[in-house]
Amino acid sequence: MDTRSRTRHNVKIVLTTLCLSLGLFSTTATAETKLVSKAKASKEAVDAPKKAPEMPATSKKDEPFFRIRGYLQVGYRFTFNNDDEGGSQSRPTLLRLGESDGFYLRRARVNFLGGYKDFSIRVSAEMAADSGASSSDVSPANRSLGLRLRDAFLKYKHSSGFYAVLGQTNVPFGLNEARSNTVEHFNEFPLILGGEDIAFGYPVQGIAPRRDIGLKLGYEKDLGPVGIFVKAMVYNGNGPNVFANDSDMPAVAGRLGVNVGKLLRVGGSVLWNPRRAGEPPQLYDETDLTFGADLSLNVAGFFLEGAFAMQQTSFPTTGQETATAWGFHADLGYRIKGLGLEPAVRFEMFDPSDLFDDDQLTYITIGVNWYKKVWRHHELAVRLSYVIKMEQVETRQLLNDQINLRIRYRL
């Protein structure tokens, strides 16, 4: 082989060796890269924080809560009286009539609410005037504001709709039992519930109970568009803030009804309350048996509400004739949502006792309300009403119509 051929052969050997070296290097580098990447990925997987397993979402019911709510009601009241027209002999002057004119503080209430899961508590207190006092010895102008307890109870509510309430709470009777007075359409409760104060007319007591201390059981269930509710309560029967029973027997009340959403609500109530009255040693027993029926209808801003109640009081100790009191009210109004205005009218009659044939009262209330939502739960309400008050017989007629302006702020 000559020199040229040998040189050419050597070049081929060198090129072949170089190619093989480059191929081996490339393969080795690729393998090393894969190994490094795999090792890096493994290291990152080890160093990466482990993701916590997803926990099921908790409902608000499973979280403890505490809230403070309340409202303030202030106003100005003017009651016509006989002195305004010279004290006509046909309209005898009532001792305390007209002594309630001027500015007044109706309620300054604070509510404390708290709970966890199926249990909750509610405690509320308010600063208010002694409205409802019927003694002629107590001038409304001399009544002072006082702090009083309103609600104070523990409540258990099961998901099935059953609930139990222990403490001071509303007695299950009548239309107004399950709602706050902040959603009422008039400044004052109807006569069958609130009665009449001696500062505004002939003093009478309402026949529907308010708050008392006891145990209340209830069941509420929605069956499609229709819902049912049943309530029963065993209580002292002496009214709120009286921490004992004046007789050996407790009072019992019950209420049941149906509702069709927010459109219609119909209910019936009954109670039995054996009481002990008088002063030692002259004590005697009285027993109240009370029935009631009510209806509430809301359609496209219009509302119609009515309630009837009748109470029979027997006197087993003295053997006196049974006394019957009865009354009803019908409320009609319309809420203009865009403006927040609500004109309303109420017609009511109340006969405190059938043992007297001249004590029946007939009231007509004409009112207009204005509502303004301020922020979240905060709401401002202004209510102006004129009450036309009529007594049954001429000898008992009074000039005691009333103008009442009240402002309420709820938070």
Could you read off the pLDDT of 211-253 as tens digits, one per residue?
A: 999 999 999 999 989 999 999 999 999 988 887 888 889 999 9
More confident site: 27 or 276: 276
Under a CB-based contact definition with an 8 Å cutoff, are residues 112 and 122 in contact? yes
Is the pLDDT reported for residue 13 higher than 50? Answer: no
pLDDT in tens, 358-371: 899 999 999 999 99
Q: What's the pLDDT score for residue 300?
A: 93
Percentages of the chain per state (helix, strand, coil), in multiples of 5: 15, 50, 35
Q: What is the DSSP letter of 334?
A: E
Note if the bond before 281 is cis, omega within 30 degrees: yes
Predicted TM-score (pTM) of this structure: 0.80
Segment holding 24, helix H or strand E: helix 3-47
Structure tokens at 192: 């069958």
Under a CB-based contact definition with an 8 Å cutoff, are residues 296 and 262 in contact? no
Under a CB-based contact definition with an 8 Å cutoff, are residues 153 and 122 in contact? yes
pLDDT in tens, 143-194: 777 888 999 999 999 999 999 999 999 999 998 887 877 788 999 999 999 9
Question: Best-predicted range by mean pLDDT among 83-87, 295-299, 389-393, 395-399?
Answer: 295-299
| Domains observed in the chain | 66-410 (2.40.160.10)
What number is the average pLDDT over the span 364-380?
94
Segment holding 6, helix H or strand E: helix 3-47
